[in-house]
Structure 1
């Protein structure tokens, strides 16, 4: 979800961010994303996870949503999707007091850690970095289970108008050493990383440093981070340019990698994400139909040996409505992710 002052910003030239040839292949007709049906729109900022045989997608609350905060959708095959309620009936009281003009919860992140599902979420207002990130937990995602219950744990991190970062777009990550982290950020000085307490999911009291992972020149159009680990590298996915403009959205998704979770993250040519570079993973210009605009805000699912990337794109054939799309990721011989048809 984007929260930035409405100003025009030019993206870096595509030539500087050109993907390797393997990632420029256009999606084939009948691709996985194109076969998706059911309740897949409007969906913005999807986060995806699997429990048992059911896949779950959590997403940003739409303006004036009447059916609760943080909508949930489910599928048994990643293709057919149904609405399945919401996490909260309303914005938690502490978050509403912190951000009184907020009208919805943004950009959830879902993962299973320490025997519970942890849902990080953001509360803010458009155009402001007065924001908070909260945490809710549940022992299960199955609403039919006797122990299904979301318990709000309160604030994880906040930003104010005096901050040089924006506390939205959270994405939790646990490395191979068991260290827990939270990536987040939108515009301002870019993508940040803080250490979490693995036992609670809240911010660590041992390491209070805020690390910088990615940034771009003014207006700083970078947000929606997501971290995964593969083959000795940490991969940082992020979205560049502008969302939330329907079919006119210029959002696209890039990736960089680093041996160290705190960076520096670089693209295939070794150019740093802290200077606005990144290897393209999703871009409207890679869609030969020109139907799907602004593909971004990725949420990744590592499911056995397979990795899926969920994201939203704006459907130019349906008035620019944000729509859930999912592709499987492949990997080049030198270890770079490619969105498969």
Structure 2
């Protein structure tokens, strides 16, 4: 059973079956690309996304807006901005807007709630592009355009001014991160009063790039500051948004880098094998009879205080917000939210299962780690869709009662071993060598089997991520 036709007890997830392209009321999370989610002052959430309408010519260009009361059900809430703002259109000739970034904004001494939206205007294959700024006192709008913040021109600049993301550093200074194919990802400081570059015309510091041999395919960057490790976490999407997107991560002590992955390789290394750089967290995959999810990418990170009913109330919770395509029809795409965790070593990992609601995911009773599991190894050198395979999961700690330990679904940091992938050439009866993971255990919704289940997500010493879900 899949997200296409699943109704989850207690959450009544809306259908994601294809709706008429011109009927936004039936879209749900369909027809959304490059999403970001922010929480309003009334507790509801707003999603802003690229105005991809899957051929709908009855929907105005701009930035599509959706609203939710639970991060699960989303209703279309209109289109921010009346088409492409005049200055951005004059610069880029863009027919629509891409990749909005919306952040709560306040200048020094300002107690009023204000919102900044940074949007991108460009055309495919060109780096004559502009990042503009619009402001509002409410997420529902109206939005007032403030003109271009960063602009690049083909034949003059190597940068590509699209895919904006804003991060407040450890001192509270806002930084704009942007970039794409052409020369990579850049970041620059913004003025806290105006939301514009501190230095007019500043195109920023290079923090990530890829080789010409892979068409310099990197975009959709997002930087999260983690106060727990006092460092910056860079997420970026590699390869093609049409069929091979995958999400990579690296960290740095300063927002301007250098950013390095789990194996200490630099995100600006153009000499190593392109697929070896950046720790891959999410790629194309499928669990059992569930939908095959193709080319997940262009993520942002939603940071939330502990949600009611969730494990770890009171602590920050993280959600990776990204779009993804259907493997059986890649022209169709939706947005998913996945719970995101940090391992004992402080590295992010993501859930193998899309978020279905904290109460729905809660395990009805404690379960043993022993038993059947299905897992995906997110090989960094592959862009193929990976089917989950049977594995055995063991606690790596040397405890006499380890095999019998029960987990009640509360998030727990562990070191576990996965052994056997269901595709081994070992002789019958031969014990397979296990892979030890710095991992997290947590409750999830098993979409393939329509039930709450225990899941894990972790990183191996070789820099490869695994995630999986326990069977019945």
Q: What TM-score, normalized to structure 1?
A: 0.83
Q: Select 1:252's aligned residue among 242, 246, 250.
A: 246
Q: Select 1:155's aligned residue among 139, 148, 152.
A: 148
1:318, distance to aligned residue in structure 2 (A): 4.3
Of the two structures, which has the highest relative contact order with CA contacts closer than 8 Å and spacing of 6 or more? 1
Larger Rg: 2
Q: Select 2:211's aligned residue among 201, 211, 217.
A: 217
| SS in structure 2 of the partner of residue 273 of structure 1 | coil
The aligned counterpart of 1:134 is: 132
1:330 matched to 2:331: no
Q: Is the CA contact 2:285–2:293 (under 8 Å) kept in the aligned structure 1?
A: no
Q: What TM-score, normalized to structure 2?
A: 0.61
1:319/1:192 CA distance change after superposition, 3 Å: closer
The aligned counterpart of 1:173 is: 167
- Cα distance between partner residues in 2 of 1:330 and 1:213: 24
| SS in structure 2 of the partner of residue 78 of structure 1 | coil
1:285/1:66 CA distance change after superposition, 3 Å: closer
- Cα distance between partner residues in 2 of 1:258 and 1:65: 45
Q: Residues 92-112 of structure 1, C-alpha deviation per residue, up to 9 Å, x if partnerless?
A: 111111122x11000101110
1:207/1:103 CA distance change after superposition, 3 Å: closer
Q: Residues 29-88 of structure 1, C-alpha deviation per residue, up to 9 Å, x if partnerless?
A: x7xxx9575611111110111113211110101264623410001111111111000111
Which one is further off, 320-329 or 288-297?
288-297
Q: Residues 283-330 of structure 1, C-alpha deviation per residue, up to 9 Å, x if partnerless?
A: 114756561100000011111211111100001244531211111101
The aligned counterpart of 1:310 is: 321
Q: Select 1:228's aligned residue among 216, 224, 230.
A: 224
The aligned counterpart of 1:293 is: 294
Q: Is the CA contact 2:284–2:295 (under 8 Å) kept in the aligned structure 1?
A: yes
Q: Is the CA contact 1:69–1:90 (under 8 Å) kept in the aligned structure 2?
A: yes
- Cα distance between partner residues in 2 of 1:265 and 1:210: 15
1:208, distance to aligned residue in structure 2 (A): 3.4
Structure 1, unaligned runs of 5 or more: 1-29
1:90, distance to aligned residue in structure 2 (A): 1.3
The aligned counterpart of 2:190 is: 196
Q: Is the CA contact 1:194–1:209 (under 8 Å) kept in the aligned structure 2?
A: yes
| SS in structure 2 of the partner of residue 41 of structure 1 | coil
The aligned counterpart of 2:415 is: none
The aligned counterpart of 1:43 is: 32
The aligned counterpart of 1:74 is: 67
1:140, distance to aligned residue in structure 2 (A): 1.4
Q: Select 2:98's aligned residue among 94, 106, 111.
A: 106
Q: Is the CA contact 1:225–1:239 (under 8 Å) kept in the aligned structure 2?
A: yes
- Cα distance between partner residues in 2 of 1:253 and 1:93: 33
In the comparison of the two structures, how many residue pairs are matched? Answer: 302
- Cα distance between partner residues in 1 of 2:220 and 2:14: 23
1:224, distance to aligned residue in structure 2 (A): 0.5
- Cα distance between partner residues in 1 of 2:14 and 2:299: 17
1:303/1:280 CA distance change after superposition, 3 Å: same
- Cα distance between partner residues in 2 of 1:65 and 1:298: 27
Q: Is the CA contact 1:36–1:78 (under 8 Å) kept in the aligned structure 2?
A: no
- Cα distance between partner residues in 1 of 2:86 and 2:259: 37
1:300/1:65 CA distance change after superposition, 3 Å: farther
1:117 matched to 2:106: no
1:87 matched to 2:80: yes
